[in-house]
């Protein structure tokens, strides 16, 4: 048995390690122009030359002694794993402050390979680097690479393959590491000898964009407008696609499945057609919207806009006990709450971290977005829908910030933190597509397992013991005293219960409960709910427990059952109280 040969990618946050990892492995680790996105180890087996190696993408570290949890993940891995090679990824524009990490690692005797990434940006800025001189002085290969453009990646592969030939892997003894500060003088000397800078850097495009993006008055409205444009574009491009797919599914049902199953037993026909097919096809028609939403989201993530959002929001966030990073986590939570919860690991202060974790489940994630897209399209006009949706996003933010404000305690968040504001970067098609497709694929995987199981279960609950006195009816009757005051019909109760497991099941469940799918389901809902009831249902769906996966992540990240339980009770209670106040007062005003 050949033991796995490990090669690790290390470097400071936001030096493009994950982009390089994707280049080397063909994988799709998430990439964003935001320091500290990788919080877990991504690994992939790769053939280098004639040998297999396992490449590991580590979270960014500033030096070898940082105390945040994401940094500890990297340190623990380095201290425990024998490495064939350590690829140190540096930002070529920032060598003046990044070479100390190389010196620190070199002093520990690690087999190094230094990558000067983003060398395209350095070239553009007029920075000239003497790689041969650096290599001679550091005593290890130094390669200029642009992971984004793919320049120098083939050479890097060859160099990595050569490192695999070495007989013994090396394990680092981090306890022997000298503080980074000891290396600063040598770092500056190295930099002066081998890097030529233009005397003054012209205020680049980043400064000109920042002038507007970070404008004291226009900055925030511009950000809200950008997010609004993202939703609007998703709607405008995605809805026709969605309708097309929906029609295709209906046609296939009528033309192929019904004749095929005409002679099957009624029970089987019911489960397969009214259960699985209706449920799953309703959910699947959302795939194009998911793809589009995340492709557009990738543009914003890659651009570096989120770090600017953190800058603009930090003043406000500190007042509710959070910091600018908390705001960015919420934005990421708009995609999915689970990675956003893991992203809180960059926050060192345990109190600040827990407070941020309490707010993230209120972030309107893509699974909830589907439900809202469907309901808003079914019940509101084309011009009203984007406003309703934007309103829901605002409510999501307000509830999250309000929660932090209420539960912040007496302590004002003063965690010392400094955040890099990286230069703006244009998105790459490759990355946009990788992101969109990655989300789409995990959605389809969900649809093929969990959602099928969910809708089959819902079908049984609505058809047994018999159609008019089913388990679903019993459940609905039991829940009616709680749900009626907030304007939610009892037939929705089963959908809400399944939404507890995963929000992706809700639409499928509704399709099964009402016995309709696609456009017919939309019509049925429009007939049975007015605007206020629909808004209340969406409000409740937004605020009550996100999904089992989120609860499990809260538990795992906080390492506390009580904290996770508290988080669930708080959101359930808050959802009911807010809906009650909204629905009853709206009924009173509008009759």
Nearer to other proteins by Cβ, of 67 and 527: the residue is 67
DSSP H or E stretch at residue 336: none
Q: How many residues bind other proteins (CB under 8 A)?
A: 44
Point out which span in 25-33, 234-242, 274-282, 308-316 binds other proteins (CB under 8 A): 308-316
Shortest Å distance, C-beta 398 to other proteins: 16
The yes or no reply on residue 12 touching other proteins (CB under 8 A) is: yes
The rounded Cα 77 to chain-centroid distance in angstroms is 24
Residue 371: count other Cβ atoms within 10 Å of its Cβ.
Answer: 21
- Least distance in Å: CB of 559 to other proteins? 22
Nearer to other proteins, 63 or 491 (CB): 63
Interstrand relation of 51-57 and 42-48 (parallel, antiparallel or unpaired): antiparallel
CA distance 437 to 538: 27
- Binding segment for other proteins (CB under 8 A), chosen from 247-255, 314-322, 356-364, 524-532, is 314-322
Contacts for 544 with CB less than 8 Å, ≥ 6 apart: 496, 499, 500, 571, 572, 575, 576
Crossing angle between the packed helical segments 385-407 and 366-379, to the nearest 10 degrees: 140
| Distance from C-alpha of 430 to C-alpha of 508, rounded to nearest angstrom | 32
Residue 174 binding other proteins, by CB under 8 A: no
Exactly one of 32, 310, 495, 533 binds other proteins (CB under 8 A); that residue is 310
Pairing of strands 51-57, 112-117: unpaired
Q: Tokens representing 380?
A: 């509101």
Runs of H (alpha helix) within 67-108: 69-80, 95-107
Question: 14 vs 28, which CB is nearer to other proteins?
Answer: 14
Nearer to other proteins, 180 or 369 (CB): 180
Among 139, 167, 216, 265, binds other proteins (CB under 8 A): 216
DSSP states of 162-230: HHHTSS--B---GGGPPPGGGGHHHHHHHHHHHEE--SS----HHHHHHHHHT-TTTHHHHHHHHHHHH
Which letter does DSSP use for residue 349 in this model? Answer: S
Taking CB under 8 A as the rule, does residue 209 contact other proteins?
Answer: no
One of 25, 44, 54, 96 touching other proteins (CB under 8 A): 96
Residue 120 annotated as part of some ligand binding site = yes
The pair phi, psi for residue 308, each rounded to 5°, is -65, -35
**Block residue for tokens 């892997």:** 169
Q: Output 207 or 225, the one with its CB closest to other proteins.
A: 207
Q: Residues 405-444 vs other proteins: string with x where CB under 8 A?
A: ---------x-xxxxxxx----------------------
Residue 337 annotated as part of some ligand binding site = no
The answer on whether 25 is annotated among ligand-binding residues is yes
**Distance spanning both ends of the chain, measured CA to CA:** 75
Per-residue interface string for the shown chain with other proteins, residues 44-73, x marking contact by CB under 8 A: ------------------xx-xxx------
* Residue numbers belonging to the annotated binding site for GTP: 11-18, 36-40, 57-60, 117-120
Under the rule (CB under 8 A), what is the footprint of other proteins? 12, 62-63, 65-67, 93-94, 96-97, 100-101, 179-181, 184, 197, 200-201, 206-207, 210, 214, 216, 307, 310-316, 318-319, 324, 348, 414, 416-422
* Residue numbers belonging to the annotated binding site: 11-18, 22, 25-26, 36-40, 57-60, 117-120
């Amino acid at each position: 048995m050949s033991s796995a040969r490990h090669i690790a990618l290390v470097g400071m946050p936001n030096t493009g390690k994950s982009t390089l990892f994707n280049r080397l492995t063909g994988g799709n680790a998430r990439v964003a122009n935001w320091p500290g996105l990788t919080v877990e180890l991504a690994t992939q087996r790769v053939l280098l030359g004639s040998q297999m190696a396992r490449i590991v993408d580590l979270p960014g570290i500033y030096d070898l002694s940082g105390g945040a949890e994401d940094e500890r993940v990297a340190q623990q891995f380095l201290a425990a794993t024998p490495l064939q090679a350590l690829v140190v990824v540096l930002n070529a524009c920032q060598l003046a402050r990044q070479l100390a990490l190389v010196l620190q690692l070199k002093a520990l005797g690690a087999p190094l390979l230094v990558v000067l990434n983003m060398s395209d940006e350095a070239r553009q800025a007029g920075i000239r680097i003497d790689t041969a001189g650096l290599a001679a002085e550091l005593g290890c290969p130094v390669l200029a690479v642009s992971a984004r453009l793919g320049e120098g990646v083939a050479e890097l592969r060859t160099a990595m393959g050569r490192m695999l030939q070495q007989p013994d892997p090396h394990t680092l003894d981090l306890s022997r590491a000298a503080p980074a500060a000891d290396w600063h003088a040598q770092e500056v000397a190295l930099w002066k000898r081998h890097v030529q800078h233009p005397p003054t850097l012209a205020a680049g495009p980043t400064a000109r964009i920042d002038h507007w993006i970070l404008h004291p008055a226009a900055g925030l409205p511009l950000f809200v407008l950008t997010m609004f444009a993202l939703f609007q574009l998703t709607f405008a491009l995605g809805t026709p696609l969605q309708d097309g797919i929906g029609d295709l599914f209906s046609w296939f049902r009528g033309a192929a499945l019904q004749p095929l199953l005409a002679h099957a037993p009624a029970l089987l026909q019911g489960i397969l057609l009214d259960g699985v097919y209706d449920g799953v096809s309703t959910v699947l028609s959302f795939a194009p919207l998911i793809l589009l939403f995340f492709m557009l989201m990738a543009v914003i993530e890659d651009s570096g806009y989120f770090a600017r959002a953190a800058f603009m929001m930090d003043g406000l966030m500190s007042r509710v006990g959070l910091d600018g990073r908390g705001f960015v986590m919420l934005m990421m939570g708009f995609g999915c709450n689970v990675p956003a919860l893991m992203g809180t690991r960059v926050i060192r202060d345990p109190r600040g971290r827990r407070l941020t974790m309490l707010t993230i489940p209120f972030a309107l994630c893509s699974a909830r977005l589907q439900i809202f897209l469907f309901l808003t399209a079914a019940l509101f006009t084309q011009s009203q829908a984007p406003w309703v949706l934007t309103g829901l996003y605002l409510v999501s933010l307000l509830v999250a910030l309000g929660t932090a404000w209420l539960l912040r305690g007496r302590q004002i968040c003063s965690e010392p933190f400094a955040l890099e504001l990286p230069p703006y970067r244009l998105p790459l098609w490759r990355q946009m597509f990788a992101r969109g497709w990655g989300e789409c694929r995990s959605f389809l995987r969900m649809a093929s397992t969990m959602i099928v199981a969910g809708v089959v279960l819902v079908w049984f609950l609505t058809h047994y013991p018999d159609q008019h006195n089913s388990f679903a009816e019993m459940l609905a009757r039991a829940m009616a005293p709680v749900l009626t005051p907030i304007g939610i019909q009892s037939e929705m109760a089963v959908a809400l219960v399944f939404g507890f497991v995963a929000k992706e099941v809700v639409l499928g469940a509704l399709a099964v409960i009402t016995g309709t799918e696609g456009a017919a389901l939309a019509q049925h809902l429009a007939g049975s709910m007015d605007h206020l009831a629909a808004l209340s249902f969406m409000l409740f769906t937004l605020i009550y427990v996100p999904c089992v996966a989120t609860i499990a992540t809260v538990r795992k990240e906080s390492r506390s059952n009580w904290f996770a339980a508290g988080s669930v009770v708080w959101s359930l209670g808050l959802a009911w109280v807010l809906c009650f106040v909204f629905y009853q007062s709206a009924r009173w005003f509008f009759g």
